[in-house]
Amino acid sequence: MTPRRLTPFRQALLGLALGVVYGLICRLMFDPRGDPSTDSLRVLLAIMSVSFIFLVPLALGFLVIWFGESEKSWVRRVFQPWLAGLAFLAAAILFQLEGLICVILWLPLVCFMSSLGGIIAGGLRDLRASGGSKRLCVAVVALLPFVAGPLESLRERETEIRTAHTSIEIAASPAQVWRQIRSVPRITEAEHGPSWSHRLGFPRPTEAVLEGTGVGSIRYARFEGNVLFVEKVTEWEENKRLSFSIEADTKNIPPTTFDEHVTIGGPYFDVLHGSYWIEARGPDRVVLHLASDQRLSTGFNFYSQWWTVWLMNDLQSYILRIIKARAEKAA
């Protein structure tokens, strides 16, 4: 199907170009913008679905090898699709179709699935099928995400609750640590440090203001980018335990703060509950625990759960390090 007069380099370039263009077309077709109650295309072709996240990279890798391979090489079949996958993701960022954090979370799957697609394409090419069979193979693979999308939309998206738990040892008394967790005065720039979650685009915490005391009091946890979480205290044991429900103030969070697919309080992800508890290890030594419950409602929770728990653990560890430094300084 590819003109034989093309040099191996130009043929490989053709395969890469077709893969990138295919990926961008799919991204535009699986566009989440619009009201899901009125946009039937968005319902049928959901971007946070197995059909898009898994099958589009597979088809992309298939096209790269099917049209770009000039001589048999299993190494190229595995790794050449990565070039198209990376170029597609870079273009998605350039054209503001995806945010950096979504691209990073998707990158391992793009590499794996595009390699799988390249291997399948190479295996089918080795069968030396007829021209009609070759065209059928291309059509089936290229249209697979668009056929699977509507079928997947018939299945209700599952919701799962995951818990992230972190802890840190602090050389301070329970009372000194308690004062640092019930409310958090504004964090100065000197207290901030490096964190993977913030490098990926999550805003840094700035303060937590408590109104009232005991069960029923309200804690306002603020992050950079005008991100606010309203936390209602559900457990209050002085110097021992502080638990609260969490509700993101989504109405006042600027749309540029979070990527639309990972917005807290959005359709795919939310943080529901948080809890601090102090484990005394001596008169001036404790272990402070922090746990949070997250809701996941994607079409691929089995994959997204690893990232969400890892990111929340990183964010919670960041907060605990600041509390540790403040409590030990006060001690």
Distance CA 80, CA 92 (A): 19
For tokens 């971007």, what's the residue?
A: 47
Q: Give the pLDDT confidence score for residue 35 in this predicted structure.
A: 44
In the prediction, which pLDDT does 267 show?
83
- Residue 321 CA to residue 315 CA, distance in Å, equals 10
Taking CA atoms, 107 is separated from 21, 90, 103, 104, 113, in Å, by 18, 11, 6, 5, 10
The whole-number pLDDT of residue 282 equals: 84
The 218-223 sheet, strands edge to edge = 160-170, 285-296, 269-282, 241-248, 227-237, 218-223, 205-211
What class does CATH assign to 160-330?
Answer: alpha beta
For residue 40, give the 3-state DSSP assignment. Answer: helix
Q: Exposed, middle or buried by CB within 10 Å (0-12, 13-18, 19+), for 217?
A: middle
pLDDT at 316: 96
- Give the pLDDT of residue 129: 61
How large is the average pLDDT for residues 283-294?
95
The answer to whether the beta carbons of residues 203 and 318 sit under 8 Å apart is no
What pLDDT is attached to residue 1?
46
Average pLDDT, the chain: 89
Predicted confidence band of residue 8 (pLDDT cuts 50, 70, 90): confident
Ranking 208-212, 233-237, 246-250, 272-276 by mean pLDDT, the lowest is 246-250
> For residue 245, which of 278, 213, 271 has the smallest C-alpha distance?
271
pLDDT at 265 (0 to 100): 77
Average pLDDT on 157-163 reads 90
What's the pLDDT score for residue 126? 85
| Mean pLDDT in residue range 23-33 | 84
d(Cα 18, Cα 84) in Å, to the nearest integer?
Answer: 9
Instruction: Name every residue whose Cβ is closer than 8 Å to that of residue 64 and which is 6 or more positions away in sequence.
Output: 15, 16, 18, 19, 80, 81, 83, 84, 114, 117, 118, 121
Cβ-in-10-Å burial (0-12, 13-18, 19+) of 225 comes to middle
pLDDT digits (tens, 9 = 90+) for 34-56: 444 445 555 577 888 999 999 99
* Residue range(s) occupied by CATH 3.30.530.20 in the chain: 160-330
Per-residue pLDDT at 244 exceeds 70: yes
pLDDT band at 249, cuts 50/70/90?
confident
CB 284 within 8 A of CB 31: no
**pLDDT at 3 exceeding the cut of 50:** no
Which of 20, 30, 27, 142 shows the shortest CA–CA distance to 88?
A: 20
Q: Is the pLDDT of residue 260 over 70?
A: no
Yes or no: say if 292 and 246 are a contact pair by the CB < 8 Å rule.
Answer: yes
When pLDDT is averaged across residues 264-285 and rounded to a whole number, the result is 90
pLDDT at 96 over 80: yes
Where in 171-240 does DSSP place strands (E)? 205-211, 218-223, 227-237
CB contact at 8 A, 323 and 181: yes
